[in-house]
A and B are shown apart, each in its own frame.
Chain A
Amino acid sequence: MTTVRIDHASRWFGNVVAVNDVTMDIGPGVTGLLGPNGAGKSTLINMMGGFLAPSTGTVTLDGEAIWRNESVYRRIGVVPEREAMYDFLTGREFVLANAELHGLGAGEAQRALATVEMEPAQDRKIATYSKGMRQRVKMASALVHEPDVLLLDEPFNGMDPRQRMQLMDLLRRMGGEGHTVLFSSHILEEVEQLASHIEVIVAGRHAASGDFRRIRRLMTDRPHRYLVRSSDDRALAAALIADPSTAGIEVDLQEGAEGALHVQAVDFGRFTALLPRVARDHSIRLLTVSPSDESLESVFSYLVAV
């Protein structure tokens, strides 16, 4: 059982608070660190990886401080988000160098390259690799010593769907074998497909934690706002407001000649089924239906307020 414990950790850069009093335990299995860009995910992963000291609080691996403690790297593997690598090396030379720095050899390097299916391109210079190939070689370099804990910062960036599936399978397998795997992402679907446990970070704060179904429910059950244009806005508004899935409707006469409705729905599933049915029953033609607050930031902001 290997656990990374973040205990009331904060980190600020000058006046900017990147991570604000976060407490969480990352245990065996796959954990997704979810949050919009700039939320503090990388800062948190850098603290867990020992590359950044917490301004206050502690970050430990099974009770051992991570910051300024090189020995923890026998048990931690890190896949950074940054693209920079030793581009003048071939993939094989790079992974071998990483193995040697762990006191291992060519056998372990070859095994790691095989795990990420990079053997066919291993003798090409890293400078010639695609983003997905670089990501896989970074992965191999982190796996070479079979770490108990694997920290990955936005690992799916730049990967094509097949590579994404392969990496997800690999991480799932590692999680199943009892490794502690933490990856960050700003894409809910990625996290949902892979993580058994989710930690949500918004604006440096720990917004939610738990099983992905619970988080998903929190996200989908929040009030949704839609912009609706139709052949008869007032009739449609009257029919929609009669249903409890709709909390409020504003008739906007400024939105062009046809006008528009701003609808606030409180039951996402029910409303999306209701709207087309009501339109059909009243012979109203729907011209536009678009969510007006679907950005991830608004979803995450809602979670913070919950």
Chain B
Amino acid sequence: MYDPTVARLTYRALLGRRRAAILLVLPALLLLIAAGVRAFNGADDQMAAGVLGGFAIATMVPLIGVIAGTGAIGPEIDDGSIVYLLAKPVKRPVIVVTKLVVAIAVTMAFSALPTFAAGYILNGNGQQIAVAYTVAALVASIAYAALFLLLGTVSRHAVVIGLVYALVWETLFGSLVPGARTLSVQQWSLALAERIGGEGMITSEVGLPLAVALLAGVTLLATGYAGRKLRTLTLAGEE
């Protein structure tokens, strides 16, 4: 279910100069904020949880998921270069799963690693806050990458829809509307972080078993549907 050539092409496309620069902006900002907070406030557990939960998990991880997930397949479908993958005796689900693995790896690398580093800068992993949020970033990376890869497969406006989801749903509704919180990748990943972090430091709207089931379900369904969609993807000509 993994094709190294498809993976290589996807990595090269995703980590091209322009996209890599975009991917680096948010982690750099997080590290800058973490360094500033530590310099002015010293090591503060509540502050550390606030920065990692409020910026890293609520904003940075979904945005990097949008860039990596949609970027792993959307541009190739838009410009038609996907034809060079589709005109090969390679099963469509293999293409989708490979691209998903790459999107997950890139999302993890550009979101979980900086989250861990920022956690250490903020309070030296006191109350296990850095590890807890890093685990949340890792599992959220999987679900976001799958969701946004599907979006890149079904819509030409995947980036816009993804940004609306990441910023409006996850960040705005997720913090204002209680019902919306349960339907949020962010909250599902925080359910894991809640178990790892110190008592009362991290809270989630969703219980751990439900969160794990939802994370797995969304990832599998999105991947399966993207594979199906790619199998019947039609390429209209220039006419």
Q: Is B199 an interface residue (CB 8 A)?
A: no
**Chain B residue nearest in CB terms to A141:** B84
Size of the chain B interface, CB-CB below 8 angstroms? 31
Whether B237 contacts A68 by the Cβ 8 Å rule is no
Whether A101 contacts B6 by the Cβ 8 Å rule is yes
Which residues of A have CB within 8 Å of B91? 70
Whether A80 contacts B90 by the Cβ 8 Å rule is no
Which one of A38, A71, A88, A100 contacts B12 once the chains associate, using CB atoms below 8 Å? A88
Whether A76 contacts B87 by the Cβ 8 Å rule is yes
Which residues of A have CB within 8 Å of B5? 97, 100-101
Least Cβ–Cβ distance between A32 and chain B, in angstroms: 17
Q: Give 14 A-B contacts (CB < 8 Å), ordered by A residue.
A: A18-B239, A38-B239, A43-B237, A45-B237, A46-B237, A51-B234, A53-B234, A73-B88, A82-B238, A85-B84, A86-B9, A88-B12, A101-B89, A102-B88
Which residues of chain A have a CB within 8 Å of any CB of chain B? 13, 18, 37-43, 45-46, 49-53, 68, 70-71, 73-74, 76-78, 80-82, 84-86, 88-89, 97-98, 100-103, 141-142, 153
**Chain B residue nearest in CB terms to A45:** B237
Contact residues, B141-162 vs A (CB, 8 A) = none
Whether A70 contacts B92 by the Cβ 8 Å rule is yes
Whether A52 contacts B236 by the Cβ 8 Å rule is yes
Stretch of B75-83, B100-108, B163-171, B216-224 contacting A (4+ beta carbons < 8 Å): B75-83
Least Cβ–Cβ distance between B87 and chain A, in angstroms: 5
Bound Cα distance from A85 to B80, whole angstroms = 8
Whether A101 contacts B85 by the Cβ 8 Å rule is yes
Bound Cα distance from A231 to B119, whole angstroms = 94
Least Cβ–Cβ distance between A115 and chain B, in angstroms: 18
Given contacts A70-B90, A82-B81, A100-B4, 10 further A-B contacts (CB under 8 A): A38-B239, A41-B237, A42-B237, A51-B83, A51-B234, A70-B92, A86-B12, A88-B12, A89-B9, A97-B8
Whether A71 contacts B232 by the Cβ 8 Å rule is no
Which one of B12, B13, B88 contacts A98 once the chains associate, using CB atoms below 8 Å? B88
Which residues of B have CB within 8 Å of A46? 234-237
Least Cβ–Cβ distance between B89 and chain A, in angstroms: 5
Which residues of A have CB within 8 Å of B79? 82, 84
Which one of B81, B83, B84, B89 contacts A71 once the chains associate, using CB atoms below 8 Å? B89
Which residues of B have CB within 8 Å of A73? 87-89
Which residues of chain B have a CB within 8 Å of any CB of chain A? 3-6, 8-9, 12-13, 16, 79-81, 83-92, 231-239
Bound Cα distance from A45 to B9, whole angstroms = 26
**Chain B residue nearest in CB terms to A84:** B79
Least Cβ–Cβ distance between B9 and chain A, in angstroms: 6
Whether B234 contacts A153 by the Cβ 8 Å rule is no
Which residues of B have CB within 8 Å of A37? 239
Least Cβ–Cβ distance between B4 and chain A, in angstroms: 8
Which residues of B have CB within 8 Å of A70? 88-92
Which residues of B have CB within 8 Å of A41? 237, 239
Whether B83 contacts A78 by the Cβ 8 Å rule is yes
Which one of B3, B80, B81, B236 contacts A101 once the chains associate, using CB atoms below 8 Å? B3
Which residues of A have CB within 8 Å of B239? 18, 37-43
Bound Cα distance from A36 to B88, whole angstroms = 30
Which one of A42, A51, A52, A98 contacts B238 once the chains associate, using CB atoms below 8 Å? A42
Which residues of A have CB within 8 Å of B6? 101
A13-B83 in contact given A86-B9, A88-B12, A101-B88 (Cβ < 8 Å): no
A88-B13 in contact given A70-B91, A73-B89, A101-B90 (Cβ < 8 Å): yes
Which one of B4, B80, B234 contacts A80 once the chains associate, using CB atoms below 8 Å? B80
Least Cβ–Cβ distance between B41 and chain A, in angstroms: 43
Whether B84 contacts A49 by the Cβ 8 Å rule is no
Bound Cα distance from A42 to B80, whole angstroms = 13
Whether B232 contacts A74 by the Cβ 8 Å rule is no
Which residues of B have CB within 8 Å of A81? 237-238
Bound Cα distance from A48 to B237, whole angstroms = 12
Which residues of A have CB within 8 Å of B83? 51, 78, 80, 82
Which residues of A have CB within 8 Å of B238? 42, 81-82
Bound Cα distance from A13 to B92, whole angstroms = 24
Which one of B9, B231, B235 contacts A97 once the chains associate, using CB atoms below 8 Å? B9
Bound Cα distance from A49 to B84, whole angstroms = 12
Whether A98 contacts B84 by the Cβ 8 Å rule is yes
Bound Cα distance from A266 to B23, whole angstroms = 68
Which residues of A have CB within 8 Å of B4? 100
Bound Cα distance from A13 to B91, whole angstroms = 27
Bound Cα distance from A73 to B95, whole angstroms = 15
Bound Cα distance from A171 to B97, whole angstroms = 37
**Chain A residue nearest in CB terms to B81:** A84
Least Cβ–Cβ distance between B156 and chain A, in angstroms: 14
Bound Cα distance from A141 to B5, whole angstroms = 14
Which residues of A have CB within 8 Å of B235? 46, 51-52, 80
Least Cβ–Cβ distance between B76 and chain A, in angstroms: 8
**Chain A residue nearest in CB terms to B75:** A84
